[in-house]
């Protein structure tokens, strides 16, 4: 998004625009699907030789739940987008695209959940426990760490 400094008056100037999700460079990540462009609604103000840009950046996405593997819809947004740019007297434009990219990337949760109480999948048979129960028998402690589970420590 390009901010045209010649359009900004004393009270500031609102700018709205869209950026392609391709600026995020997440084409190879199959756990996220973009449902539209990245929307930006900001107010730009010139203050003491600086450009102050504040507003909102958001994009509608489908994410893959890190527990159950199902896709769910959500909004990734930075509702307190705020940046300060030093500008020169002869500068006519400021490109804020990289900062929009950064704002979205910082608000993408690392381990997204479809809901707080997502039960995930059974580790043995792979059944999604949100839709029902599996027929697996409860496993007895064992394996490489089984001996540690039996260890009694004095506190």
Cβ atoms of 71 and 44 closer than 8 Å: no
> What backbone torsions phi and psi does residue 81 show, to the nearest 5 degrees?
-60, 125
- Coil, helix or strand for 103? helix
pLDDT at 84: 95
Q: Taking the model in full, what pTM does it have?
A: 0.78
Which tens digits make up the pLDDT trace of 2-60? 999 888 888 889 999 999 999 999 989 999 999 999 999 999 999 988 999 999 999 99
Which tens digits make up the pLDDT trace of 44-63? 999 988 999 999 999 999 99
**CB-based contacts of 121, cutoff 8 Å, min separation 6:** 67, 68, 69, 127, 128, 129
CA distance 43 to 115: 34
E-only strand ranges, the chain:
2-4, 13-19, 32-34, 38-47, 50-64, 71-86, 93-95
């Amino acid at each position: 998004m390009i901010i045209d400094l010649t359009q900004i008056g004393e009270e500031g100037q609102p700018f709205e625009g869209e950026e392609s999700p391709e600026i995020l460079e997440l084409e190879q990540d199959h756990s996220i699907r973009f449902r539209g462009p990245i929307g930006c609604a900001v107010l730009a103000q010139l203050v003491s030789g600086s450009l102050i840009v504040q507003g909102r950046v958001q994009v509608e996405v489908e994410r893959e739940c890190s527990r159950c593997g199902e896709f769910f819809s959500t909004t990734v947004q930075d509702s307190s987008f705020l940046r300060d740019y030093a500008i020169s007297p002869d500068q006519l434009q400021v490109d804020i695209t990289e900062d929009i990219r950064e704002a979205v990337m910082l608000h993408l949760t690392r381990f997204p959940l479809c809901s707080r109480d997502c039960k995930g999948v059974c580790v043995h048979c792979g059944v999604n426990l949100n839709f029902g129960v599996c027929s697996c028998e409860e496993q007895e402690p064992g394996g490489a760490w089984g001996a540690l589970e039996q260890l009694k420590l004095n506190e």
